[in-house]
Amino acid sequence: MRAQEKGIRIALASARPAPGLFKERDALSLTKFGGILMSYNGGRIVEAATGKVLFETSMDLEETREVLRQLEACKAGDITLEELNAAKEAILSSLRATHDSPGAIEGYYATGALSGMSMTPAQYMEKVEQVTLQQVVEAANTVKLHSSFFLKGVSA
């Protein structure tokens, strides 16, 4: 809280929905000091004190269907070596960029601390390079749809 008392604004980020951050929000007194809650991996950003939405994005129905179609294809083993290598390269490129700025380094290690992952970017890259098609299929088959909501406004 000393940083907040000096005017530094804290943003709490998580993949969880905002209510999953309330315990930490309260422990850090984010409502008192103008903190920010970033939920859904940054898909929704709100002011901690007021709940005012500063940014929000989501997938539309067609995008959601495409993600589910691709997941089913992965579960069935319908993934090419080229697709696997492209996915690996995207992850590796992101990891290489970790050292491009102090903020990126801080973000990487903060995320690691919060998730319990203790690998350096180099160690993480080694793991990514070792991933096989079979491992992707096995991982895809552990994914279960939890819930899906499609709310559509009605015009008056």
Residue-wise pLDDT tens digits, 91-128: 999 999 988 888 888 888 888 888 888 899 999 999 99
Sheet holding 36-39, edge to edge: 11-13, 36-39, 44-47, 53-56
The Cα 72–Cα 66 span in angstroms is: 10
Answer whether residue 152 is part of any domain. no
Q: Quick check: pTM over 0.85?
A: no
Do 74 and 89 lie in one domain? The reply is: yes
Tokens found for residue 30: 């984010």
Do 120 and 50 lie in one domain? The reply is: no
The boundaries of the domain holding residue 107 are 61-140
Residue 6, CA distances (Å) to 1, 3, 9, 50 in order: 9, 5, 9, 21
Do 136 and 71 lie in one domain? The reply is: yes
What does pLDDT average to over the chain? 88
Please count the structural domains in the chain. 2
Do 69 and 131 lie in one domain? The reply is: yes
Domain boundary among 15, 32, 56: 56
